[in-house]
Structure 1
Amino acid sequence: MTSSTLTITSMTTAAEADAFRTLNEEWISRFFTIEESDRRTLDDPFAAIVDPGGDVLIVRDGGKIVGCVALVRSSDDVFELSKMAVTPAVRGKGIGRQLIQAAIDHARTLNASTLFLGSSTKLPNAVHLYESAGFTHVSPEQIPLPPYARADVFMRMVL
């Protein structure tokens, strides 16, 4: 897979919202339990994320959706990096790295000054990816706390 076949765009269609839900349900249910806060976000990402001023980025390899990530507005200039997923068939090919960089760049266009995230020690590859992208570990008190029982790693990036 070459990066030239990848496109990253904002979610605009119901089909893309369905893919966002499916991609996230796959990894969440594999490692954790889908929580009520997940359900609210995944059932209507336009209302939960886009309408309040955030965005969902969709990654395609050719015409096939292979990944996604959400930028959830927490306050005027603070966003949560959330619901990042890459389909299992293409993990390990650098798509996550490109996706997180696209999300960081896009957050800047949304006038974000800070990104934060909650992750889990059960996802060491994800934590390493966030570290390599420039996120630093912080205590949960230092970020607007994500509403997930599974989060035990908290990170922040000042843009």
Structure 2
Amino acid sequence: MLQAQLKPANLVVTCNQTHSTMAQTDAPSTPAKPVIHAKQTAESGSSAQLRHLSRYLVRNLGMLNAAFGDLPLSPVQAHALFEIGKQPLTIKELACKLSIDKSNASRAIKHLIDKNLAQSQIHPRDSRCLVVQLTPAGKKLLLKLDTQQNQLFQEILAQLTPAQTSQIEEALMLYNQAVHNAKHQSGCHIRQATAQDDAAIAKVIRDVSAEYGLTADKGYSVADPTLDCLSQIYSQAGANYWIIELDGRILGGAGIAPLANNEGVCELQKMYFMPEIRGKGLATRVALMALDFARETGYQSCYLETTAALNEAVKLYEKLGFVHLSAPLGNTGHDACEMPMLLELNQ
């Protein structure tokens, strides 16, 4: 996602305040740290409703039926027909496209071959595997299937205005992307940082900073004297830090802390991600967790400082609702970060 200085996807580096600001713990206006929010521990009403709608949609589209419409194909076989109709595929490639296991994909292919709807041949570049393509009969059935589905969706869309159709399309694109991200985040564990994580977190910040030229002499947070004891800094009231762990390794994190001398304002800080976890939507996910924490803690707004060189990071912040400020808030000590931004949390 991030290009130029931040080339790989979803690497987000915020320029955060200095240790003197971060260490402030006795500001009277600082909200108290809440218990982990219910959104992380119990199913919310919106989550339950979305699950219900998803189940209902699957049922009403006939995905639980033995046959797909009035054709002699199961839903999996019909989807296999669609994908092979686009281009010849191996079993592994088909399984990946349909998000099913290889044995399920193999059974679907066997059915299509047995019905003379598909045929297999040795892969032209790998003699160890087979590639499957449609036969003339398969192409004919695909045309019938496509016509059937077009008619079905025309009847559905006839119930909606063009504006409603566009709204549903946009919402489904967002939902599909969220499902995709959740799948690819499998195995990544997000939790609050502890003292045992300090060395690993500091290493992530130093490694990523070095990778992208964010040197200490330029005023980036890698120069922070408290870098090796972040759990202590983020244990103050109104602060928190989340780490991302994969296979027992800490590979990223982000934090929220109060902005000194600015009542009701927090700062989004120290978002760093190693290459292994980039491109999975984790930057957005962790940022949303941090903003949820900020709201529940009682902050009215969230501040950050970044630089125009981090173009994709800026795009993420804008997508989250941050607006550009003409001047920085407070004195964070990071002159190199010329782009201050603010999000009103109660809008």
Bigger strand share: 1
Letter in 1 for 2:297: L
Query: Displacement, 1:36?
Result: 8.3
CA contact (8 A) 1:31 1:122 kept: no
Greater shift after overlay, 50-59 or 108-117?
50-59
Residue 212 (structure 2) pairs with residue 26 (structure 1): no
Equivalence for 1:3: 185
Bigger helix share: 2
User: Aligned-pair RMSD on alpha carbons?
Assistant: 2.2
Partners of 2:298 and 2:247 in 1: CA distance: 30
Equivalence for 2:279: 92
Runs (4+) of structure 1 exceeding 4 A deviation are none
CA deviations 1:46-76 (Å, max 9, x no partner) are 3433235411111223533221011111255
TM-score normalized by the length of structure 1: 0.85
- Aligned to 2:334, what secondary structure does the other structure show? coil
Query: Displacement, 1:131?
Result: 1.0
Q: Which has the larger radius of gyration?
A: 2
TM-score normalized by the length of structure 2: 0.42
Give 1:58-137 correspondences, 5 Å limit. Answer: 58-74=243-259, 75=262, 77-137=264-324
CA deviations 1:8-33 (Å, max 9, x no partner) are 2211232x222221121123233221
Query: Displacement, 1:148?
Result: 1.2
Equivalence for 1:146: 332
What 5-or-longer segments of structure 2 have no aligned partner? Answer: 1-182
Partners of 1:46 and 1:13 in 2: CA distance: 5
CA deviations 1:77-125 (Å, max 9, x no partner) are 2111011011122212211111111111111222111110001112111
Equivalence for 2:228: 43
Aligned residue pairs total: 157
Give the share of equivalent positions with the same residue, in percent. Answer: 26
CA contact (8 A) 1:66 1:87 kept: yes
Higher relative contact order (CA 8 A, sep 6+): 2
Greater shift after overlay, 149-158 or 53-62?
53-62
The structure-2 alpha-carbon separation of the partners of 1:47 and 1:129, relative to structure 1 and needing over 3 Å to count, comes to: same
What 5-or-longer segments of structure 1 have no aligned partner? Answer: none
Partners of 2:284 and 2:327 in 1: CA distance: 24
- Aligned to 1:7, what secondary structure does the other structure show? strand
Partners of 1:109 and 1:28 in 2: CA distance: 31
Partners of 2:244 and 2:330 in 1: CA distance: 27
